[in-house]
Structure 1
Amino acid sequence: MSTVAAQPVPNTVDPRTARKVTLAGCVGIFAELYDNGIFGFMAGSLAAVFFPNTDNATAVQFVFLGYAVSFFFRPLGAVICGHLGDRIGRQRMLVFVILLISAATAAIGVLPSYASIGVAAPALLILLRVAQGFSVGGEASGAMSFLAEHAPEGKRGLYTSYAQIASFLALLTGTLVAAAMTSGLGSARMESWGWRIPFLLAVPLGIAGIYIRKRISDTPNFTRLKEEDGLSKNPLKEAFASAEHRRAMLLALFIPLMNGSGYYVLFSYMPTFMSSELNFSKVQGLLVTASSLVAICIAIPYMGRLSDRVGRKKVLAGAAVAMAIVGIPCYLLIGTGNVALAVIGACIMAVVFAGHTGVIHILLVELFPTRVRYSAYGLGYNVSSALFGGTAPLLMTYLIDRTGNVNMPAFYAVITALGTLLAVSKVKDRAHLPLRDA
């Protein structure tokens, strides 16, 4: 192991460059998360196209099983992309992952249906979801490390929160596209050919993201470490050899618990939940989700900026406590069947969740030094996503089907919030310290 000074080195990137890099990073994240999120929004149509010989509830469960399977390949993507990202640079891997997911998403858009090739159709659908999952596994930790390492000191929370805005704007775009097409084409034409269009939009989005990411340079932290011959030869092995890093990876596994009830249930699963369980129309469900996405996009930068001032722990803990309090009442508002009340309930939860999603990634970035950051942060976070995130829609559909209780998402919101609160209490807050290189 190369001997490198373990002292934190302040970031000297000028604000103009940091803003340029942040914008470029966000465009790539938008493309990546749109590609990943559109699968959940199109679950109803995909169920009819790829599982036509089963009842609707079972077909939707099969679609979300495909959604969940891809998450178990995220840790593999995190390990491989993280290793290469810590060895050869963040920028190269971020170009690769957006190329991979764009190709996989576009391929879903041209898949033959079950009526054309039988069981091979859903098999190919799941295979392409695996490719998407691998790509996203390399995206989250890589993009957030990239942005944080470029951000000016004292503004890391704000700058990385912009990436979260991009991710939710991607979900909002997917929601509006799905709502507009479902409303304009109707179920018959959507199931015939319309479902393909949202997936094929990955082509121009991917080209734009690749073009922008290829034009940005690697981070000053990585470049400085490379010039000092301080790069790790095996970053994940090095991380597991350190008790401090093992503890940090364990925290990276449990702090994101709220993502399961937030990102993956409140947003990705919500349109399907509202139409299949609460008797809303598909368009109404998508529009309620769209309202909550607008709310969270507005709230996220305020939470990121607040965490720069008061620390990450206080903001995350406050969000967890608030979700434990409002989770059940807000879901009861959604369950009334009234669109206006559903919008209020979903928007309240979205603003609360902003305190988690707008801060969690920068807290996890700060747990690790540059030498192992991409690998160790990526592994912990993506194992968490696989266990508690991607399985959430499948778990909700299964529990509701078995129990008949449509309030299962509310209980899940409270349980995951309390889990996050417990994990956050064990973290050392590094909001006001420079990022470490080693």
Structure 2
Amino acid sequence: MTKEERKVIIASSAGTVFEWYDFYLAGSLAANIAQTFVPGDNDTAKFIFVLFGFAAGFAVRPFGALFFGRLGDMIGRKYTFLVTMTVMGISTFVVGLLPSFQTIGYLAPAAFIICRLLQGLALGGEYGGAATYVAEHAPMGRRGFYTSWIQTTATVGLFLSLIVILGLRLSMSPETFAAWGWRVPFLLSIILLGFSIWIRLQLAESPAFVKMKEEGTHSKAPLSEAFGNWQNAKIGLIALLGGTAGQAVVWYTGQFYALFFLTQTMKIDGTTANLLIALSLLAGTPFFIFFGWLSDKIGRKPILLAGCLIAALTYFPLFTMLAKTTNPKLITATDTVKLVLTSDPAQCGTLFDPVGVRTFTKPCDVVRRTLATNSIHYDLVPGPAGSPLKASINGADAPATAAELVAAAQAAGYPKAGDPTILKTPSIGQVLTDSRALQATGILFILVVFVTMVYGPIAALLVELFPTRIRYSGMSLPYHIGNGWFGGFLPPTAFAIVAASGNIFSGLWYPIIVALGTFVIGLLFLPETKDRDILK
């Protein structure tokens, strides 16, 4: 690797790390954000706002891919991802300054959502530019290894956000952190923005793009050429369904859904959950480089598809082990406390709410969502038409209102938040000496390895699928539909499945089905690309 190539990788990766750091702060600090921007003590309303804020940034990523992808194919890779970085950094900094609901009312949550939308648009343009830029500097036979450094950035950005948050949590009281400490990571982004812009200004434009411009072969309408032409659009469709969709759900299950599962389902405190995730990420991150390097030897396709298949086959046993390790009383209660809901089927809806904007008023829906939020297993039995909702616990009648039913289930054996049997390790030293914490970290590490298998080779694969003239646009859209929609909506979709079924593990069916679908489609239609000449 030459000095110039190292400079390209370091500058591109560092800037992308900071963009991911900015983007993930909203997920890692969701509880504090909801407490600041949502009025009252309605935990369900706060939870819905958290899901909506989480989903908003992901929903617009494909639109950012279209807008900035077109710019990248027309004016260049370097200048486009300088723009995306600036938009991301400023919108993140603004979140740290936003007044609370008590100060400006509903303008506060509205302004936060606008910032999340801007972040999503910026991220939609960033990844394609960075991956394309690095790949177009890489020598033949080394693209998987070179672009794998970009693949570490999402995980390193998440890791960096967790470390900053943990450092602040451990250096101040919970009350201080809740009052203003949570804003500090957002405010730090302005410093990261300045450094990122400075380091990327040192770079020259991609040689492949320069060559194309000099020859006059660049596309004047990259979006029409990439997606209006069936031959190119077909490649994008195969890239999505046979590659990025499965990669995305494995990625988000191994990192974001794992964190969601620990905090929302297993009721582990945020500090402990972040520590466990951070340590697993630290141990697993080098495997991005390994699988990127390996893809130069044996191909992108077999590693990507193997990761999808292995993940799909092992998610249920791994998450069951994780649950038994972190909250054994909860798992015992699901076996010993039989809670049955009886309702007219017409009074029970789907509960599908991927962006968190639906309002549920029917007793059956309200109770099921509340039970799911409190990780309480239930069975739903159809009742006579027009009959009211009824509930029983271990055969005895129970109150059918949400709050009273939760209290009755907890009295029968379900643990409350803060129960002493729930894993709690508020320091790295305790994680390293506690057998349960080590076992949980080991399980999370396995999930991260799955992530590295599917994510390590994907950038090189996408770059190699599309010609230079439409590469930025062509690769960005399937990547961000896969990761922004299939992956980004995974937590709320999985929660809806859990709420509808009454089983805390049933949400895993979503990533399993998508990953298996990608395995089959990729096996049949996805070409191997490692030996392609990308200068054409």
TM-score normalised by structure 1 residue count: 0.92
Stretch deviating more after TM superposition (283-292 or 248-257)? 248-257
Match of 1:6 in 2: none
What's the CA shift for 1:213?
1.0
Consecutive unaligned residues in structure 2, runs of 5 or more: 327-435
Stretch deviating more after TM superposition (403-412 or 282-291)? 403-412
Match of 2:417 in 1: none
Match of 1:374 in 2: 472
The one-letter code of the counterpart of 2:298 is V
Q: 2:317 aligns with which of 316, 329, 332?
A: 329
Greater helix content? 1
The size of the alignment, in residue pairs, is 424
Q: Is the CA contact (8 Å cut-off) linking 1:260 and 1:392 kept in structure 2?
A: no
Q: Is the CA contact (8 Å cut-off) linking 1:157 and 1:359 kept in structure 2?
A: yes
TM-score normalised by structure 2 residue count: 0.76
Match of 2:27 in 1: 40
Matched, 1:393 2:491: yes
Taking the aligned partners of 1:77 and 1:16, their CA distance within structure 2 comes to 32
The one-letter code of the counterpart of 2:157 is A
Consecutive unaligned residues in structure 1, runs of 5 or more: 1-13
Taking the aligned partners of 1:135 and 1:165, their CA distance within structure 2 comes to 19
Taking the aligned partners of 1:407 and 1:180, their CA distance within structure 2 comes to 32
Which residues of 2 match residues 23-102 of structure 1 at below 5 A?
Answer: 23-102=10-89
What's the CA shift for 1:25?
0.4
Q: Which has the larger radius of gyration?
A: 2
Q: Is the CA contact (8 Å cut-off) linking 1:368 and 1:436 kept in structure 2?
A: no
The one-letter code of the counterpart of 1:223 is V
Match of 2:531 in 1: 432
Taking the aligned partners of 1:205 and 1:165, their CA distance within structure 2 comes to 18
Taking the aligned partners of 2:502 and 2:172, their CA distance within structure 1 comes to 32
Aligned residue for 2:180, secondary structure, equals: helix
Per-residue CA deviation, residues 355-412 of structure 1 (Å, 9 max, x unaligned), is 1011112111111001001112112222223321221122233333444422145333
Taking the aligned partners of 1:408 and 1:216, their CA distance within structure 2 comes to 47
Stretch deviating more after TM superposition (405-414 or 67-76)? 405-414
Aligned residue for 1:372, secondary structure, equals: helix
Against the structure 1 CA distance between its residues 256 and 362, is the aligned structure 2 distance closer, same or farther, given a 3 Å change threshold?
same
Which residues of 2 match residues 64-213 of structure 1 at below 5 A?
Answer: 64-213=51-200
Tell me the C-alpha RMSD between the 2 structures: 1.7
Aligned residue for 2:115, secondary structure, equals: helix
Per-residue CA deviation, residues 183-217 of structure 1 (Å, 9 max, x unaligned), is 43343222210110111111111111111111101
Which residues of 2 match residues 2-13 of structure 1 at below 5 A?
Answer: none
Against the structure 1 CA distance between its residues 295 and 279, is the aligned structure 2 distance closer, same or farther, given a 3 Å change threshold?
same
Q: Is the CA contact (8 Å cut-off) linking 1:179 and 1:282 kept in structure 2?
A: no
Q: Is the CA contact (8 Å cut-off) linking 2:22 and 2:89 kept in structure 1?
A: yes
Aligned residue for 1:434, secondary structure, equals: coil
Taking the aligned partners of 1:251 and 1:385, their CA distance within structure 2 comes to 15
Match of 1:289 in 2: 277
Match of 2:288 in 1: 300
Matched, 1:231 2:218: yes
Taking the aligned partners of 2:13 and 2:294, their CA distance within structure 1 comes to 20
Match of 1:214 in 2: 201
What's the CA shift for 1:52?
3.9
What's the CA shift for 1:88?
0.8
Stretch deviating more after TM superposition (347-356 or 125-134)? 347-356
Taking the aligned partners of 1:191 and 1:85, their CA distance within structure 2 comes to 40
Identity among equivalent positions (%) equals 33
Stretch deviating more after TM superposition (273-282 or 404-413)? 404-413
Taking the aligned partners of 1:289 and 1:258, their CA distance within structure 2 comes to 21
The one-letter code of the counterpart of 1:284 is T
Q: Is the CA contact (8 Å cut-off) linking 1:35 and 1:102 kept in structure 2?
A: yes
What's the CA shift for 1:241?
4.0
Against the structure 1 CA distance between its residues 83 and 142, is the aligned structure 2 distance closer, same or farther, given a 3 Å change threshold?
same
What's the CA shift for 1:341?
2.4
